Chain A
Amino acid sequence: MAMQFYASPEQIMRDRSEYARKGIARGRSVVVLTYAGGVLFVAENISTTLHKVSEIYDRIGFAAVGRYNEFENLRSAGVRMADLRGYSYDRRDVTGRALASAYSQTLGSIFSEQPGKPYEVEICVAEVGTSEAKDELYRLPYDGSVQEEPGFMAMGGQAEAISNVIKAQHREGLTLKEALKLALAAIGSVGGDNNGSRTIAANQLEVAILDRSRPGRKFRRLTGAALTAVMPGAEAQAAEAKADGKPDGKADAKSDDNGDGKEAAQ
């Protein structure tokens, strides 16, 4: 007969936290930062159809790391919630704050619900404002806590190391090119050989912006020519790849967290 052992609530919560944190750390990173023209999302993602960054509403974007099925679930819920609110009130009444609070409640109750496992996700809700000072970034980890971040944030494997790189260089008034360069330097600062840095090619990136100057829906993906135009040193890289006679950097491009996420990024 199975015996029921006593486990203190602290122990249970610690175990659950550890479980969720491990799951999240396995995935590749996502960086979100504000720049003069809006909010920039940069994710390491080789899939062009399974997104880590998406549009929620006119001014609101969503980025996530962790288990695909879980954050995809939250993403659709966010789109539904935002569309319902915009439809029943007005498009201007859909705010990132309300969305973040709904996500926080959902994640919080999933985290503490027994039986069941906590979500292995960390998400970011970003809202672009009329000026850089009015942009809002909310970090929502697996346990339902919510933090408003000051202009930049990193999630996923080795988020702290990445975050430190951005912290040192992030300032108000960056151009899109500068912001992308900073994001790439930060993501590339970890995961190289012998814990060194590495360069990431455009085809391994998912990049999107919330463009402050656009009327209506501000979310826009940067792909293809639009992306290479703002990539740092894009011309030099392309020339190098041609000389080598192979497409740039396919070697370490493996699927990460679209599924069980067994690959360790550390």
Chain B
Amino acid sequence: MAADFGTSGRLPLAYTAAGNSSFTEFLSQVAPELLPGRRNLPQGGAAKDLAPHATTIVAITFSGGVVMAGDRRATMGNLIASRDIEKVHPADPYSLVGIAGTAGVGIELIKLFQVELQHYEKIEGAMLSLDGKANRLATMIRGNLGAAMQGLVVVPLFAGFDLDADDPVKAGRIWSFDVTGGLYEETGYDAIGSGSLFAKSSLKKTYRPGLDADAAARLAVEALYDAADDDTATGGPDIIRKIFPVVMTATAEGTSRYSEPETAAMAEAILAARTERPTP
């Protein structure tokens, strides 16, 4: 255990301090080197060309929850760094988080965020509210500002099922962020990453309120297809290698992921439709 017992043999004060239920704050006291935003980086923005970049994520609300989907590509300059990276993860049993930007920092941030939420739940004996979770993530992004200024930009997309919502039909909620830790609640749908412009343009035409989960998932996959069509950094469905987008939902029953055959079927349906009426 990383605990430094010192000469007394007792756990250090930070471990037994009362009133702190944040894992990030605890880390900043006992192991600040483990926090993504606390590293000394050399001057200049050279880091961004060295590290793989994760790209497009979309989220769409439907009646009774929210769906989030991400393509599978990470790029490094003109190279494809990964064809099967997973950028959408469950943050806790009722919320999802996806990342765009520097992949390494982003994945570390997701991992930290997952521990943060679980840590709070265990210490307090109750879950954070959905707004509380979004705020917490914003604080963590804010902590990364220094690194972001030097090229290691990470922007997440957060979505979840609000257990405190009056109307469970409208309980799916989405938040987007900016590099300074700005927190914006979105209505209906949102996308982040290099292909987000095209994904959002696609959703602008196809989204309507009151969708069901499967319809929303199909729209998400289609939006990613449109993003991949125009953005080189976003990966389309890979029929040959059988690599398809990660699609997850958060509902009253918790988070769940569409299985590979299901996402494959969605992607193939879209490909078939496009083959019939190709756009020039």
Binding site for B on A (CB under 8 A): 49, 51, 54-56, 73-74, 76-77, 79-81, 83-88, 98-99, 102, 105-106, 108-110, 113, 217
Contacts and interface: CB of A to CB of B under 8 A. Distances in A.
Nearest to A99: B1
Contacts of A105: 5, 9-11
A79 B123 contact: yes
A84 B125 CA distance: 18
B207 interface: no
Given A80-B15, A84-B26, A106-B10, 6 more contacts: A83-B26, A98-B1, A102-B3, A105-B10, A105-B11, A106-B9
Contact of B1 (A85, A108, A109): A85
What is the predominant secondary structure among interface residues of chain A facing chain B? helix
A79 B1 contact: no
Nearest to B126: A49
Q: Which 8 residue pairs of A and B lie closest in terms of their CB atoms, listed nearest first?
A: A109-B9, A77-B15, A109-B10, A105-B9, A79-B122, A106-B11, A77-B16, A83-B119
What is the predominant secondary structure among interface residues of chain B facing chain A? helix
A76 B124 CA distance: 9
B111 A87 contact: yes
A55 B122 CA distance: 7
A84 B2 contact: yes
Contacts of A98: 1
Contact of B10 (A51, A80, A110): A110
B258 interface: no
Given A73-B16, A85-B1, A79 B10 contact: no
A86 B119 CA distance: 11
Contacts of B30: 84
Given A77-B11, A105-B10, A84 B31 contact: yes
Contacts of B27: 84, 87
Contacts of B11: 77, 81, 102, 105-106
B69 to A, nearest CB: 23
Contacts of A84: 1-3, 26-27, 30-31
A114 to B, nearest CB: 12
Interface in B46-99: none
B18 interface: yes
A26 to B, nearest CB: 23
B34 interface: yes
B31 A88 contact: yes
A220 B16 CA distance: 25
A102 B10 CA distance: 8
Contacts of B125: 49, 51, 54
Contacts of B118: 83, 217
B279 to A, nearest CB: 43
B119 to A, nearest CB: 5
A88 B2 contact: yes
Nearest to B21: A76
Given A87-B112, A110-B10, A79 B119 contact: yes
A81 B111 CA distance: 17
A102 B6 CA distance: 12
B267 to A, nearest CB: 27
Interface string B2-45: 11010011110011101000010011001100100000000000
